[in-house]
């Protein structure tokens, strides 16, 4: 399985994640077949992808003619067999239930070319379980993106126990080739990497609201205008590395006891009740307005792109990784 970009891709499932994957592959020049069991949802996703690409061109995030280039690489398919015919990468983004995933993978394995890699956007299921008893389990891999993948590049790549090493290597190469930032997991953990890290912070944030330690706005401000500014540039370990003149070794040794005391004091029980959810929602509406979710999401996506552009212009010194 040599890396060849562009290669023919099938996007199967066109919800919020699937429709964003369309743009990832199409803008990279891949012939992109699109299928959904619900034709109306497929058509809405295709309309969204065209409008999103056009908006990005207007905003200068893609070159002139980029929207037409993307659209020219996309083909709407009326059947799964049509979408899979001749493809070499399948990006499955179906419903997030194990039984549904297993049934869909049985269809994909039967219909996709033998050389095609079958990749799942699942946010939590183990590929070992999804591909259990499949003849082609050795070509199946998790490729879990961050929502939305056409804006945020990280993809968590996780093999099942039967997945061949060359499939994992090719998945990493291909995803990097289409502009993503793939990371390989060594073993399955519920929630993978991103959602485990996100869940740890979210649990404490919710506990702080539940205990009335601070307002919803105050907690969001601390992350948005404090921690988040550093984390947009450096991860938790990179942040620690820059918090002491002697680097990470000095930082974690000097502050290790302080962190241990905090860990002992962090929330240990489930703080998420309906009352807390209502308080959080009210806090968001007070901050952004009662009907601002779509506009806020669009602003988020524009701003993430601008941060990525700044990082590409001025990358960290000596860094082995780059932000595409």
Mean pLDDT of 178-191: 95
Q: What burial class does residue 224 get, using C-beta atoms within 10 Å of its C-beta: 0-12 exposed, 13-18 middle, 19+ buried?
A: exposed
**pLDDT (tens digit per residue) in 261-291:** 998 888 777 888 899 889 889 988 898 888 7
* pLDDT band, very low/low/confident/very high, at 320 (cuts 50, 70, 90): low
Dihedral sign, Cα of residue 172, residue 160, residue 203, residue 145: positive
Lowest mean pLDDT segment, chosen from 126-140, 197-211, 273-287, 310-324: 310-324
* pLDDT band, very low/low/confident/very high, at 78 (cuts 50, 70, 90): very high
The answer to whether residue 203 scores a pLDDT higher than 90 is yes
Q: Contact 101/24 with Cβ under 8 angstroms?
A: no
Q: Which residues pair with 89 in a beta bridge?
A: 9, 117
Structure tokens belonging to residue 229: 């500014």
**pLDDT (tens digit per residue) in 97-117:** 999 999 999 999 999 999 999
- Catalogue all structural domains in the chain, each as residue range(s) with its CATH number: 9-184 (3.40.50.720), 194-290 (1.10.1040.10)
The answer to whether residue 2 scores a pLDDT higher than 60 is no
The answer to whether residue 323 scores a pLDDT higher than 60 is no
């Amino acid at each position: 399985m040599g890396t060849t970009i562009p290669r023919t891709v099938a996007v199967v499932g066109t919800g919020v994640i699937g429709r964003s994957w369309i743009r990832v592959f199409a803008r990279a020049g891949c012939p992109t077949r699109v299928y959904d069991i619900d034709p109306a949802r497929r058509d809405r996703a295709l309309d969204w992808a065209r409008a999103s690409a056009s908006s990005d061109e207007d905003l200068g995030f893609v070159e002139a003619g980029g929207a037409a280039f993307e659209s020219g690489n996309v083909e709407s398919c009326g059947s799964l067999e049509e979408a899979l015919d001749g493809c070499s990468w399948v990006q499955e983004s179906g419903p997030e239930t194990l039984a549904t995933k297993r049934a869909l993978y049985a269809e994909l394995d039967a219909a996709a070319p033998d050389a095609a890699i079958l990749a799942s956007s699942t946010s939590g299921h183990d590929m070992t379980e999804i591909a259990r008893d499949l003849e082609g389990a050795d070509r199946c891999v998790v490729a879990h993106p961050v929502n939305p993948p056409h804006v945020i590049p990280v993809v968590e790549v996780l093999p099942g126990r039967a997945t061949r090493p060359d499939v994992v290597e090719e998945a990493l190469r291909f995803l990097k080739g289409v502009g993503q930032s793939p990371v390989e997991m060594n073993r399955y953990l519920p929630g993978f990497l991103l959602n485990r890290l996100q869940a740890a912070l979210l649990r404490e944030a919710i506990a702080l609201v539940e205990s009335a330690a601070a307002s919803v706005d105050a907690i969001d401000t601390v992350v948005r205008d404090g921690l988040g500014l550093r984390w947009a540039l450096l991860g938790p370990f990179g942040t620690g590395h820059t918090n002491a003149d002697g680097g990470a070794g000095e930082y974690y040794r000097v502050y290790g006891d302080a962190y241990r005391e905090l860990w002992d004091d962090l929330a240990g029980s489930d703080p998420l009740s309906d009352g807390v959810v209502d308080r959080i929602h009210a806090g968001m509406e007070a901050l952004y307005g009662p009907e601002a979710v779509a506009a806020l999401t669009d602003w988020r996506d524009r701003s993430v792109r601008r941060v990525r552009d700044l990082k590409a212009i001025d990358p960290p010194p000596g860094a082995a990784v780059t932000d595409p």
